[in-house]
Amino acid sequence: MMSVLRLVQLVLAALLSLHALLIAFTNLTDYQVNFEFLRMVAGMSDTCSAQKTWRSVSNPVLLHGMYLLIIAAEATSGALCGIGAWRMWNNRLAPDMLFEAGKQTAVKGALTGVALWFGALLTISGEWFLMWQSKTWNATSTAVSLAVFYSIALSVLLKKD
């Protein structure tokens, strides 16, 4: 019989996968709307900083490159978590060593999510581009929620059975 911890880890990995892949899908299928968000945040369109001009990015090639990197990170996180969930499912009744080995792919996916939400959205967008100052383009609370959720999921995935 599969342990409760294994079941929790497997379900978390599957849900992380679904979440990240849906975000990547939305960013691809609604590219212009979500790209506009990135353009406005990176361009620091409505921040208060007097020193913002040298920090802002407005070059379309750089902006599209940044956006594609974000989408790639979302898809990578989702794919790794999905593969990890599949491996955990296949090893759900196996000895600890095999289950732990299968889980490592999901751990990498969750870590990619933490890097994306805490690193890219909260740190770079929030602090470098001063997104927190924006009245219109502020996604700080979303970034915090996702960074915390992915971090908690990562902690649960790292727990040994």
Q: Is the torsion defined by CA of 88, 93, 95, 96 positive or negative?
A: positive
Number of domains the chain contains: 1
Contact 116, 151 (CB under 8 A): no
What separation in angstroms does the CA of 88 have from each of 22, 48, 75?
A: 21, 48, 20
Residue for token pair 């299928």: 29
pLDDT cut 70: percent of the chain above it: 98
What letter represents residue 67's amino acid?
Y
Residue 57: per-residue pLDDT: 94
The upper half-sphere exposure of residue 78, i.e. CA atoms within 13 Å in the direction of its Cβ, equals 14
Residue 48: per-residue pLDDT: 78
Whether the pLDDT of residue 43 is over 80: the answer is yes
Query: Closest Cα to residue 44, out of 152, 127, 142?
Result: 127
* Domain span holding position 104: 4-158
Residue 34: per-residue pLDDT: 93
pLDDT tens-place string over residues 49-94: 666 678 899 999 999 999 999 999 999 999 999 999 999 999 999 9
pLDDT tens-place string over residues 111-148: 999 999 999 999 999 999 999 999 999 999 999 999 99
Separation CA 79–CA 145 (nearest Å): 21
Whether the pLDDT of residue 26 is over 80: the answer is yes
User: HEC states along the chain?
Assistant: CCCHHHHHHHHHHHHHHHHHHHHHHHHHHCHHHHHHHHHHHHCCCCCCCCCCCCCCCCCHHHHHHHHHHHHHHHHHHHHHHHHHHHHHHHCCCCCHHHHHHHHHHHHHHHHHHHHHHHHHHHHHHHHHCCHHHCCCCCCHHHHHHHHHHHHHHHHHHHCCC
Report pTM: 0.94
Residue 46: per-residue pLDDT: 86
Residue 1: per-residue pLDDT: 87
Separation CA 21–CA 63 (nearest Å): 21
pLDDT cut 90: percent of the chain above it: 89
Report the pLDDT averaged over residues 30-47: 93
